[in-house]
């Protein structure tokens, strides 16, 4: 699905914190980076985009569709949090395949798709591991694989390079860009 | 080890031993007299009735507590509503109320108001009846389970539910697939604790369901009735059974690796 993502005057107040009138447009296939100091509201903006919080005002468009009031499960944007938020009760394989549970794939196809995605990110050898045994970089790749496997129209990455050293961060950047070439847009904070 | 450190160690260990000895002496006094009489429990129809009714009512009220506590705990942990402080205070009130007072509240609610009459007309008589036992146990023990489950849900990073939703789950599915498995141990701990407490509930049950032999006679009521009539053997057996159940409950906690603090 090749569509652009548009934010029109998005504003949100959460307690003492507020985001004021944000306008931006992310073109299909574009890798869009937003920079800002801690506490600037980057994560909240991503959560509004994912549908977790509704904006107080403004509109969000995905192509020609107004998705402002769509819940996260209808938007199905890929989301990778800064600390990855892996499900600790599931293995790496369970985490990556989580979004495929209700898909029409049979167990074999599902396993194959998990394997393909894990291969793409170089984490196939980790599939049977538990999340708490992974390094920061490994768990980041698992979180990325979990977000990518459903081929989301938009990929939202919160501080994607924060837990990686410089050589690994370049590697991760390239692989996330490569993996998202089929997605409409990626937003990285 | 310095003198002060040794003194402090001695003080804490002595305190621990004295408290242990106090509890052990109290419980042991009953067990020493009650355990040899345990075979009597199977021969006294009254005790058999009390054990069966206790197990039935406490299991049902615990199940009801779980079914209600889960959504309430989730709402308190994850959502904020105007006046939440007041709502929470009312929800927790039975935790701090003397159970007898809870029983009076229930007796007046179901005995003197149109709600009680309407329920009785529908065939659900709660005053001086077995359903009354379940309601009394439920009322007194629900807030404890809500508190345990609320703390458990708050301990799960809400962003995992958010991620689950971006992967296609509805809020309910995200709760069932992510949060619920992660708080499984706390649910089990809460259930065991609630079951143990409902089994021993006395004051509220006495007020709402009364103390009628072979009718509303659960184990604590049996103890009360046997004490009143001076039947010390039956009293010892009833108390011993409740103590043994408490031991089994603690054992189950240990087996599950659950900490009660």
Q: Do A99 and B167 touch (CB under 8 A)?
A: yes
CATH hierarchy code of domain B40-256? 1.10.3720.10
Phi, psi of A26, deg, nearest 5: -115, 120
Q: Which value does ipTM take for this structure?
A: 0.88
Q: Do B166 and A51 touch (CB under 8 A)?
A: yes
Mean pLDDT of all residues in B209-215: 93
Q: Do B166 and A47 touch (CB under 8 A)?
A: no
Write the residue in A47, A52, A99 that is nearest to B168 by C-beta.
Answer: A99
B160 touches chain A (CB under 8 A): yes
The pLDDT of residue A180: 53
Higher pLDDT, B4 or B25: B25
Average pLDDT, chain B: 92
Q: Residues of chain B with pLDDT > 70: what percent?
A: 98
Higher pLDDT, A166 or B10: B10
Residues of A in Cβ contact (< 8 Å) with B176: none
Closest residue in B to A143 (Cα–Cα): B163
DSSP secondary structure letter of residue B175: I
Cβ-contact A161, A169 below 8 angstroms: yes
B164 touches chain A (CB under 8 A): yes
Q: Do A52 and B182 touch (CB under 8 A)?
A: no
CA angle B124, B126, B129 (to 5 degrees): 105
Q: Do A73 and B166 touch (CB under 8 A)?
A: yes
Angstrom distance (rounded) from CA B9 to CA A171: 55
The pLDDT of residue A178: 57
Angstrom distance (rounded) from CA A52 to CA A186: 17
- Residue boundaries of the structural domains of chain B: 40-256
Minimal CA separation from A76 to chain B, in Å:
5
Q: Give the pLDDT confidence of B42-81 residue by residue, as tens digits.
A: 888 999 999 999 999 999 999 999 999 999 999 999 998 8
Q: Which residue has the tokens 């039935």?
A: B56
R_g (Cα) of chain B, nearest Å:
22
Q: Do B167 and A85 touch (CB under 8 A)?
A: no
| DSSP letters spanning B10-36 | HHHHHHHHHHHHHHHHHHHHHHHHHGG
Residues paired with residue A156 on neighbouring β-strands, in sequence order: A79, A187
pLDDT band at B217 (very low <50, low <70, confident <90, very high): very high
* Interface residue of A15, A50, A73, A95 to substitute, partner B, most B CBs within 10 Å: A73
Per-residue pLDDT of chain A (189 residues; tens, 9 = 90+): 578 899 999 999 988 888 889 999 999 888 889 888 888 888 999 999 999 999 999 999 999 999 999 999 999 999 999 999 999 999 999 999 999 987 788 999 999 999 999 999 999 999 999 999 999 999 999 999 999 999 999 999 998 776 666 555 556 556 655 555 444 456 665
Q: Give the pLDDT confidence of B232-245 residue by residue, as tens digits.
A: 988 999 999 999 98
Q: Do A85 and B166 touch (CB under 8 A)?
A: no
Angstrom distance (rounded) from CA B62 to CA B81: 27
Cβ-contact A179, A121 below 8 angstroms: yes
A86: left (phi over 0), alpha (psi -120 to 50) or beta: beta
B157 touches chain A (CB under 8 A): yes
Residues of A in Cβ contact (< 8 Å) with B162: 47, 50, 52, 72, 79, 85
Tokens of B196: 């143990």
Q: Residues of chain B with pLDDT > 90: what percent?
A: 79
Minimal CA separation from A69 to chain B, in Å:
14
DSSP collapsed to 3 states, chain A: CCCCEEEEEEEEEECCEEEEEEEEEECCCEEEECCCCCCCCHHHHHHHHHCCCCCCEEEEEECCEECCCCCHHHHCCEEECCCCCCCCCCCHHHHHCHHHCCCCCCHHHHHHHHHHHHHHCCCHHHCCCCHHHCCHHHHHHHHHHHHHCCCCCEEEECCCCCCCCHHHHHHHHHHHHHHHHHCCEEEEC
Residues of A in Cβ contact (< 8 Å) with B166: 50-52, 72-73, 75-79, 147, 152
The pLDDT of residue A173: 58
Q: Do A73 and B170 touch (CB under 8 A)?
A: yes
Closest residue in A to B167 (Cα–Cα): A99
Q: pTM for the whole thing?
A: 0.85
Q: Do B166 and A50 touch (CB under 8 A)?
A: yes
Q: Do B182 and A89 touch (CB under 8 A)?
A: yes
A63: left (phi over 0), alpha (psi -120 to 50) or beta: left
* Interface residue of A48, A51, A54, A72 to substitute, partner B, most B CBs within 10 Å: A72
Whether residue B185 is predicted with pLDDT greater than 70 in this model: the reply is yes
The pLDDT of residue B54: 95
Residues of A in Cβ contact (< 8 Å) with B179: none
Q: Do A72 and B166 touch (CB under 8 A)?
A: yes
């Amino acid at each position: 699905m090749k569509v652009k993502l548009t934010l029109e005057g998005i504003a949100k107040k959460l307690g003492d914190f507020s985001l004021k009138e944000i306008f931006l447009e992310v073109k299909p296939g574009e890798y869009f980076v937003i920079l800002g100091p801690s506490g600037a509201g980057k994560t909240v903006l991503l959560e509004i985009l994912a549908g977790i919080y509704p904006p107080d005002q403004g509109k969000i468009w995905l192509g020609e569709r107004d998705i402002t009031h769509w819940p996260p499960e209808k938007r199905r944007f890929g989301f990778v949090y800064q600390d990855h938020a892996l499900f600790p009760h599931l293995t790496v394989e369970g985490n990556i395949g989580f979004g495929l549970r209700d898909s029409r794939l049979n167990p074999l196809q599902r396993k194959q798709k998990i394997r393909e995605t894990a291969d793409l990110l170089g984490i196939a050898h980790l599939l049977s591991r538990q999340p708490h045994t992974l390094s920061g970089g490994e768990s980041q790749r698992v979180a990325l694989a979990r977000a990518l496997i459903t081929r989301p129209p938009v990929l939202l990455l919160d501080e994607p390079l924060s837990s990686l050293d410089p050589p690994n961060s370049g590697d991760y950047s390239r692989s996330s860009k490569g993996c998202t070439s089929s997605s409409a847009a990626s937003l990285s904070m | 080890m310095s003198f002060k450190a040794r003194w402090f160690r001695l003080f804490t260990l002595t305190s621990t031993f004295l408290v242990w000895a106090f509890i052990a002496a109290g419980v042991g006094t009953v067990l020493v007299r009650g355990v040899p009489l345990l075979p009597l429990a199977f021969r006294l129809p009254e005790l058999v009735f009390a054990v069966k009714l206790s197990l039935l009512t406490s299991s049902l009220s615990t199940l009801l507590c779980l079914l209600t506590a889960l959504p309430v705990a989730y709402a308190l942990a994850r959502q904020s509503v105007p006046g939440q402080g007041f709502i929470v205070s009312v929800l927790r009130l039975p935790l701090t109320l003397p159970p007898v007072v809870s029983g009076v509240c229930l007796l007046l609610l179901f005995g003197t108001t149109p709600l009680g009459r309407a329920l009785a007309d529908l065939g659900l008589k709660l005053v001086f009846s077995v359903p009354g036992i379940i309601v009394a146990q439920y009322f007194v023990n629900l807030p404890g389970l809500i508190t345990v489950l609320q703390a458990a849900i708050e301990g799960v990073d809400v962003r995992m539910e958010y991620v689950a939703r971006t992967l296609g789950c509805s809020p309910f599915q995200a709760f069932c697939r992510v949060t619920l498995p992660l708080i499984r141990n706390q649910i089990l701990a809460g259930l065991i604790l609630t079951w143990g407490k409902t089994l021993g509930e006395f004051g509220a049950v006495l007020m709402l369901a009364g103390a009628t032999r072979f009718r509303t006679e659960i184990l604590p009521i049996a103890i009360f009735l046997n004490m009143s009539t001076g039947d010390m053997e039956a009293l010892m057996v009833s108390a011993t059974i409740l103590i043994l159940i408490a031991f089994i409950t603690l054992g189950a906690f240990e087996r599950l690796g659950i900490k009660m603090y």
